[in-house]
Structure 1
Amino acid sequence: MQNLWGKRFAALIIDFLIVILITWVFSGIVYPLLAVTNAFGILNYWLIVTAVIVMVYFTYFEGKLGTTPGKSVMKIEVVVDDGEMNYQKAFIRNISKILGIPLILDIIVDYIAGNSKLRYLDEVAGTDVKLKA
């Protein structure tokens, strides 16, 4: 179990580095347009744009492939308890990446309950993370 936590953390770092790169490229494209149109007020919404990029990235890769690039490098994957992985399950299990309350709930409930699952939202979504066979 401890080894899986380390792999998950490393995968998360890799994935967030990719998300940061995507955000930089996006801002490199958008910023000159803002400068030309003098619409810098839209930068107030940059946090929302970043949250959308994070959710689209994780939901797309996990919903379609069952793994993100970071998880793939670390040889772990998201598996479904019953049925097939879909975008809805991927979205539910990744909400804690952008919202603080589900993240805190994830940590507290798992610590108190001692679930076999690593995260509370994995249980809600009916998913789990396993080492690739």
Structure 2
Amino acid sequence: MVSIFKKRILAYLADYFIVSAIIWISAQLLYFIILPLSGLFVYECLVILTPIVGIIYFVLLENKWGTTVGKHLLFLEVVSTDDYNYHERIPYKQAIIRNLSKIYWLPIIVDIIIGRLVGSSNERILGRYAKTKVILEEIARNSEEKKMEEVELKENKLEETNLEEVESSKDEL
């Protein structure tokens, strides 16, 4: 069985290729539409587009669906470990913080190394700081099912309590 860490690396590589394709297409469009007048080259556009597209890709997908294309292909999901949102999809603030190091290669490598030195073998330091965790989708689904069961139990108990109150009030009349 492949470890979560290895799955995360493979997912990041898949996402990197997707982001690279988006960046390259965007740079070509900018070059042919806007930049001939300014004198910038495609490679100069890449320096500007890389952090913008990378952050937008990771933040939007992790906030909206709890996963990126690469993570989804490997059945991984990002969840919050914050007390208020435990095992729920992450809000924008957490998504931005955890993805700051994904702008270029060097920061993500440093983030992984520091995370492994000070935390678990599966965590990045910014993921820990943002109070997020990458888990298998199966675990996330089980957690959601468990929450649904708890909600149903509470609703059933509330209905039973209400019925008992109604019956006792009928008896009093």
> What range describes the TM-score normalised by the shorter chain of this pair?
0.7 to 0.9
What number of residue pairs does the alignment pair up?
130
Q: Aligned-pair distance for 1:130?
A: 0.5
1:25 and 2:25 aligned? yes
Q: In angstroms, what is the RMSD of aligned CA positions?
A: 2.3
Distance verdict in 2 for CA 1:102–1:17, change over 3 Å? closer
Judge which range, 85-94 or 45-54, deviates more. Answer: 45-54
Matching of residues 50-69 of structure 1 within 5 Å: 50-69=50-69
**In structure 2, do the counterparts of structure 1 residues 86 and 4 end up closer, same or farther at CA, with 3 Å as the change threshold?**
same
Change (3 A) 1:27 1:116: closer
- SS of the equivalent of 1:40 reads coil
Partner SS, residue 67 of structure 1: coil
Paired residue type of 1:67: T
Runs of 4+ in 1 over 4 A off after TM superposition: 99-103
Map 1:73-84 to 2 at 5 A: 73-82=73-82, 83=85, 84=88
2:103 maps to 98
Q: Are positions 1:3 and 2:3 aligned together?
A: yes
How far apart in 2 are the matches of 1:3 and 1:56? 27
Could you tell me how far apart the structure 2 residues matched to 1:101 and 1:10 are? 17
Deviates more, 1:101-110 or 1:82-91: 101-110
Give TM-score, length-normalised by structure 1: 0.84
Are residue 118 (structure 1) and residue 142 (structure 2) matched?
no
Q: 1:122·1:128 contact (CA, 8 Å) conserved in 2?
A: yes
How far 1:28 moved relative to its partner?
2.3
Computing the radius of gyration over CA atoms, which structure comes out larger, 1 or 2? 2
Q: Which consecutive residues of structure 2, in runs of 5 or more, have no partner in the other structure?
A: 139-173
**Corresponding residue SS for 2:67:** coil
Runs of 5+ consecutive residues of structure 1 not aligned to the other structure: none
Which one is further off, 56-65 or 2-11? 2-11
1:5 to partner: Cα distance: 1.1
